[in-house]
Structure 1
Amino acid sequence: MTDRPTAGSRIRILIEDTVESTDSGTLRTTGGVYIESLGKPGAVTLQILEPGWQLGDIVHDGRDQLVRIDKGDGVHVWQRPNGYVTYDDEISLASLRVIRPATP
């Protein structure tokens, strides 16, 4: 087998990381992996190893205590004590320290 895949090669890619952001078929992880398109349905199999952030989670980013909220349009963001909204791609999600997880 060659060191690098060539056109026509069948491959399997295993990535274990934390999702930093997702948007319209793209995926970015905290480890720097960026997948521009997940392709046609069924082309990529994703297995969720643990759930992501939930509404009501409270975390600390080294500066402020943040709470996970729905900003009113179905988009989940972090809200700072001063009311400022922080999107997932504006913060290092891997560095967040959980203060209190949301209660079910």
Structure 2
Amino acid sequence: MTAHPTAGSRVRIVIEDTVESFDSGTLRTTGGVYIESLGEPGGVTIQILEPGWQLGDIVHDGRDQLVRIDKGDGVHVWQRPNGYVTYDDETSLNSLRLVHRAEQ
């Protein structure tokens, strides 16, 4: 085996991290992994080890308790006690500590 993969190499890449965002096939993780394209459907297998944030989840970000809501257009965000809406990219997901998991 060579030190680095070359064209034609079959590889298995295991990344265990937290999803920061997933938009239009682009995946970013809190650990800094950035995958621009996941290729054709079925080309990449993603195994979800635990569920992401669900509507009604309550977390603490070190300052406030936040609740996961749908802001009315299908976009899920965090709402602070003062009503201010915080998008996922406006907070460090690594700083969020689960207070209460919503009943599903």
TM norm structure 1 = 0.93
Runs of 4+ residues deviating >2 angstroms: none
Unaligned runs of 5+ in 2: none
C-alpha displacement at 1:88, in angstroms?
Answer: 1.1
Summarize the alignment of residues 17-96 of structure 1 with structure 2, pairs less than 5 Å apart. Answer: 17-96=17-96
Deviation track 1:43-72 (CA, whole Å, cap 9, x = no partner) reads 100011111111001111011111000111
Give the whole-Å Cα distance in 1 for the aligned partners of 2:96 and 2:45.
Answer: 27
Give the whole-Å Cα distance in 2 for the aligned partners of 1:25 and 1:84.
Answer: 29
C-alpha displacement at 1:92, in angstroms?
Answer: 1.4
Give the whole-Å Cα distance in 1 for the aligned partners of 2:70 and 2:100.
Answer: 17
- Aligned residue pairs, count: 104
C-alpha displacement at 1:94, in angstroms?
Answer: 2.0
Deviates further, 53-62 or 4-13:
4-13
Identity of aligned residues (%): 85
Unaligned runs of 5+ in 1: none
C-alpha displacement at 1:28, in angstroms?
Answer: 0.8
